[in-house]
């Protein structure tokens, strides 16, 4: 993690000793989602409400959940990807101030962007996309043929990133959280990330897939691959998904 963010988080924060957050000063909040360039190609995702997902028993899913790093080579469908993205970051409702999603978030700030490294999805070419949650679509970010290798390298050569049908990388848009909570918001970002990834684990299980959470990465390298400054926007957590063999 870059030094500025790391220091702020590591200092620890006790309610009552922080400077007043910007929200309390009456400053306007940032947008609910990082804008994207509408001239870039997009991939429409099937609407979550229309997806037919096999019924699954929650207790069985909980009991079965296990980290999986070795995947079948069969692709996931766009329906399945849409469902997975909806479960961990999809938008159920939005107003000017907040979104509500299948995952909880401190103050409903939902301060993440989700990068989607597509390796093997029917209907989406391999490459790096960003999930535009408010519109439930993917926008192309980096379609270089080396992009998957670049992500693998930034993640300490964890080969499951390339073997998986898809890898998600959650990045923090820090001010969406700190506007309301000040420094303590950094703690909440990390807690929120756990919720997102846990939903992914459980949703993938329901599809006969497995997940591997990934936090062992070189912060500067991964931020560099994603084109993030590492201060206002930074990679926080990632996960791979693929079908069980």
Ligand X SMILES: Cc1cc2nc3c(=O)[nH]c(=O)nc-3n(C[C@H](O)[C@H](O)[C@H](O)COP(=O)(O)O)c2cc1C
In the complex with ligand X, which residue's Cβ is closer, 32 or 238? Answer: 238
Mode of pairing for the β-strands spanning 99-100 and 93-94 = antiparallel
* Three-point CA angle 83, 137, 67, nearest 5°: 40
Backbone angles phi, psi at 187, to 5 degrees: -60, -45
Whole-number minimum distance, CB 130 to ligand X, in Å? Answer: 21
Q: What is the dihedral of CA 90, 91, 92, 98, to 10 degrees?
A: 140
What is d(CA 145, CA 123) in angstroms, rounded to the nearest whole number? 17
Residue 209 near ligand X by CB under 6 A: no
Whole-number minimum distance, CB 152 to ligand X, in Å? Answer: 12
In the complex with ligand X, which residue's Cβ is closer, 79 or 201? Answer: 201
Residue 67 near ligand X by CB under 6 A: yes
In the complex with ligand X, which residue's Cβ is closer, 128 or 212? Answer: 212
In the complex with ligand X, which residue's Cβ is closer, 5 or 78? Answer: 5
Q: Which listed residue (120, 158, 178, 223) binds ligand X by CB under 6 A?
A: 158
Whole-number minimum distance, CB 212 to ligand X, in Å? Answer: 5
Backbone angles phi, psi at 102, to 5 degrees: -60, -25
Of 146, 79, 156, 74, residue with least CA distance to 117: 146
Whole-number minimum distance, CB 96 to ligand X, in Å? Answer: 33
Of 165, 162, 168, 170, residue with least CA distance to 209: 165
Residue 213 near ligand X by CB under 6 A: yes
- Which two three-digit tokens encode residue 2? 């870059």
Site for ligand X in 176-205 (CB under 6 A): none
Backbone angles phi, psi at 16, to 5 degrees: 110, -15
Number of residues counted as binding ligand X (CB under 6 A): 9
In the complex with ligand X, which residue's Cβ is closer, 132 or 151? Answer: 151
Residues interacting with ligand X, by CB under 6 A?
Answer: 66-67, 69, 158, 212-216
């Amino acid at each position: 993690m870059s030094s500025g963010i790391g220091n702020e988080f590591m200092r620890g924060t006790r309610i009552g000793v922080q400077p007043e957050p910007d929200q309390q000063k009456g400053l306007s909040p940032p947008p609910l989602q990082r804008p994207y360039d509408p001239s870039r190609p997009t991939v429409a995702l099937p609407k979550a409400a229309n997806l037919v997902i096999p019924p699954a028993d929650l207790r069985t899913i909980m009991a079965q959940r296990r980290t999986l790093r070795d995947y079948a080579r069969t692709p996931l469908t766009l329906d399945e990807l849409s469902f997975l993205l909806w479960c961990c970051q999809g938008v159920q409702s939005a107003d000017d101030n907040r979104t509500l999603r299948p995952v909880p978030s401190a103050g409903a700030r939902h301060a993440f962007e989700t990068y989607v490294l597509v390796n093997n999805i029917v209907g989406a070419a391999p490459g790096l996309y960003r999930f535009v949650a408010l519109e439930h679509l993917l926008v192309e970010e980096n379609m270089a043929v080396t992009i998957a290798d670049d992500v693998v390298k930034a993640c300490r050569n964890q080969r499951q990133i390339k073997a998986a049908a898809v890898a998600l990388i959650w990045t923090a848009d820090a001010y969406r959280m700190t506007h309301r909570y000040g420094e303590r918001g950094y703690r909440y970002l990390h807690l929120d990330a756990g919720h997102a990834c846990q939903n992914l684990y459980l949703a993938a299980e329901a599809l006969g897939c497995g997940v591997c959470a990934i936090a062992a990465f070189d912060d500067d390298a991964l931020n560099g691959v994603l084109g993030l400054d590492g201060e206002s926007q930074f990679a926080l957590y990632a996960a791979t998904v693929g079908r069980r063999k």
